[in-house]
Amino acid sequence: MAIIQKPGWFYYEEEGERLGEVSYLKAGHGKVLVLNHTYVDPKLRGQNIARQLVDAVCELARSEGKKVQPDCRYAAALFKRFKEDYEDVALEPGQNADSCPIN
């Protein structure tokens, strides 16, 4: 699986079609990456693509010495369920984490 990085995005694409994505914003004077949207095409769900996309953002944060704030429900649930995998970069969920629809 090839994950592509663009400013503010990581996405998964097959044959030119974007089938999964995670977006983030910079906050805290650029020291925090706020995960604000995660989506995977329904035909690919259950294959851990969303987690791999979130992990790509976390790896970016680690490499740049930043923190990650989950502000979408999927990312917040992932950080809570696998706390030990994200404890080095995770901040408390943002205010939108409970209201963000899981797509």
Mean pLDDT per 10-residue interval, the chain, length 103 residues: 91 91 95 95 93 97 96 94 96 68 49
pLDDT of residue 99: 55
Q: Report the 10 Å Cβ neighbour count for 42.
A: 9
pLDDT of residue 103: 45
pLDDT of residue 2: 84
Is residue 1 within 8 A of residue 12, CB to CB? The reply is yes
> Which domains occur in the chain, in start order?
3-86 (3.40.630.30)
Q: Tell me the whole-structure pTM to 2 decimals.
A: 0.89
Kindly give, in sequence order, each residue whose CB lies less than 8 Å from that of residue 45, ignoring residues fewer than 6 positions away: none
Is residue 48 within 8 A of residue 28, CB to CB? The reply is no
